[in-house]
Structure 1
Amino acid sequence: MKPQLTLGVSLKMYFGYQQTLEWSRQIAEIVKNHPVTRDGHRDGLVELFVFPSLPAIAGAIEAFRGTSVNVGAQNMFWEDAGAYTGEVSGAMLREMGCGYVEIGHAERRRYFAENDKQIADKTTAALQNSLIPVICIGEAERCTAAQAIGQAVAQAQQALGPAEKAGLSGDAILAYEPQWAIGAKEPASAEFIGEVCEGLAARLSLSSAHGDRRVIYGGSAGPGLLTQLGSRTGGLFLGRFSHQPAAYKAILDEASALLLSTANRS
């Protein structure tokens, strides 16, 4: 079943090792007992993933065992093996039990000079290893919604194009994160976000023969935003605003209410 909502979390490098494991255990308990992720609702309505720091991935996988939360990595290399000191391959991530990997975040571009070709190579490697790439896209400067859609579609095509030309198939998540909104006190307006996410989803669905292309919103996303956006986005990619378990539960509450409202309308 195609998920109706996707909620992802990146812990970036905010937590230590033990703090990551404790957070994972607390979130696991919330998920096990929440109406939207237990019983009959665990059959795919809500897609959940978490990206801890690399050394804590194995511990997080264990903490989330038996829940609907998938664990992935914040980055990967584009080769499966070789003399690439300090890197991690998609093959190893998959062997560990990861199902997702984040690719192309604006901070990777800014601090580590990642370019379009490297992002495309990583996307290809992710799909080759049956990982769902969470590809970060978004404009650097404020602009109109139409301009933002155009830039984001071009970035998505640059990332996925080589894999599609190679005949690779597999689902991909496009995390729309306007770079100017990352780390900001307030996200972009709900109206702007909704318009861009709807436009992106419509444009990307035209070329989805190789797999499902889901559009979610990141960029200072936190509690309350999902309610404002309603069904105009496929979900949220959460950062620091979800690092408190109570805030994460509040967002699950919003997801539950949104799904119930959608079901009642249909």
Structure 2
Amino acid sequence: MTDASSFASPSAPSSALPDRLIGISLKMYMSHAQTVDWAHRVTELTYAHPAIASGTAGLVLLPQFPSIPACLDVPGPLQIGAQNLSAEDAGAWTGEVSGAVLAEIGCRFVEVGHAERRRHFHETDDIVRAKTAAALRHGLFPILCVGESAAGSPESAAAEVVTQIRSALPATAGDLPPEGGVVIAYEPIWAIGAQQPAAPDHIIAVCEAVRARTRIHFPSLDFRLIYGGSAGPGLLTRLGPTVDGLFLGRFAHDPDSVPRILDELADVIMLKS
């Protein structure tokens, strides 16, 4: 293995979101050692990729909490985030993790509102709203997971997704931090863990409607719209410039798949330009 420490560390990141973004949540699939090995391997494969080296695309890794410091120590393109945070900043909240501490140690992103958190841990709209506010309060970019519960028309899906976005974000633009940004991860709940993602035509129609309506409701919001839900290699080529990237799960467990997806992203960027 090439020594990742020989790679030049990127300069201090700006407060702005990258134009394109590939997010990867490892959930609870890998051990600590496997996670760190994965981070080193992906760094080797992607640090010189044109989409990354140019600063056009960001590569975001969300490992388990104990692995975050070790992943932060891997020099290279990976921007590190967490899979969850507390709505509270400090106090007697046993087992919780503060957004203030995540920001303090160097995290830039945090996942909020994933369907698994809603289903298994009974997170409500109110909790998602409070966690999103906590992330923004501490300068973290929330990766806000939204998606319809059952397969249906793009129109009904977009309406449900926009309702979730409006519920999670502050009611007025003045309540948003001036340098805050949000990553909206469209993940149809029925497609999470499925063999195939939602049909490209469905994703495109929903994302076009969601982007337009989000701009109407939050005209000053800096946001990126990415797709998750069994996303993997080959999908970006079919979606084109409709989305700003992908949110990957199990299809990114093989490090070799990440540069392939970055190749697709680079092609999409050229198409849009």
If the TM-score is normalised by the length of the shorter chain, which range does it land in?
Answer: over 0.9
Which of 73, 77, 82 is 1:62 aligned to? Answer: 73
Residue 47 of structure 1 deviates from its aligned partner by 2.1
Shift of residue 143, structure 1, vs aligned partner: 1.1
CA separation of 1:28 and 1:87: change in aligned 2, threshold 3 A: same
Within the alignment, does 1:49 sit opposite 2:64 as a pair?
Answer: no
Question: Aligned to 2:193, what secondary structure does the other structure show?
Answer: coil
How far is the alpha carbon of 1:69 from its aligned partner? 2.2
* Amino acid in structure 2 at the alignment position of 1:62: D
Who is 1:173 aligned against?
183
Query: AA paired with 1:174?
Result: I
2:123 maps to which of 107, 114, 136? 114
Shift of 1:235: 1.0
Aligned to 1:3: 18
1:6-21 correspondence to structure 2 within 5 Å:
6-21=21-36
Structure 2: runs of 5 or more not aligned: 1-15
Question: What is the aligned residue count?
Answer: 257
Tell me the distance in 2 between the aligned counterparts of 1:225 and 1:241: 11
Q: Residue 128 of structure 2: SS of its match in structure 1?
A: helix
Equivalent pair of 2:45/2:256 in contact (CA under 8 Å) = no
> Is the contact between residue 204 and residue 213 of structure 1 (CA under 8 Å) also seen in structure 2?
no
Match of 1:213 in 2: 223
Give the % identical residues. 43
Provide the residue aligned with 1:231 in structure 2: 241
1:163/1:59 CA distance change after superposition, 3 Å:
farther
Q: Residue 124 of structure 1: SS of its match in structure 2?
A: helix
Distance between the aligned counterparts of 2:143 and 2:261, measured in 1?
20
Counterpart selection for 1:193 from 172, 191, 203 = 203
Runs of 4+ with >6 A deviation = none
TM-score where L is the length of structure 2? 0.90
SS in 1 for 2:145: strand
Counterpart selection for 2:194 from 169, 184, 197: 184
Q: What's 2:38 paired with?
A: 23
Cα deviation, 1:37-87, whole Å, max 9, x if unaligned, reads 12xx12xx1122110000000011111x3x332100000001110111111
Residue in structure 2 matching 1:90, options 99, 120, 126:
99
Give the whole-Å Cα distance in 2 for the aligned partners of 1:82 and 1:53.
22
Q: Say if 2:52 is the partner of 1:37.
A: yes
**Equivalents in 2 of 1:83, 1:164: separation in Å?**
32
CA distance in structure 1 between the aligned counterparts of 2:133 and 2:94, rounded to whole angstroms: 21
Distance 2:218 2:59 in 1: 22
Closer/same/farther in 2, CA of residues 163 and 117 from structure 1, 3 Å limit:
farther
1:256 match = 266
Aligned with 1:229: secondary structure? helix
TM-score w.r.t. length of structure 1: 0.92
Verify the 8 A CA contact 1:168 1:210 in the aligned structure 2.
no
The offset of 1:233, in angstroms, is 1.0
- Given that 2:170 and 2:176 are in contact with CA atoms closer than 8 Å, whether structure 1 keeps it comes out as no
User: Is the alpha carbon distance of 1:166 and 1:259 closer, same or farther for their aligned partners in structure 2, counting shifts above 3 Å?
Assistant: closer
Higher helix share: 1
Q: Secondary structure at the match of 1:206?
A: helix
**One-letter code of the match for 1:105?**
H
- The alpha-carbon deviation at position 4 of structure 1 amounts to 3.3
Query: Residue in 2 aligned with 1:130?
Result: 139
CA distance in 1 between partners of 2:47 and 2:58 (Å)? 14
User: Structure 1: which 5+ runs fail to align?
Assistant: none
Task: Give the SS at the match of 2:87.
Answer: coil
What CA distance in whole angstroms lies between the structure 1 residues aligned with 2:202 and 2:135?
31
Q: Partner of 2:10 in structure 1? A: none
Residue identity matched to 2:21: T
Cα distance, 1:35 vs. partner? 2.3
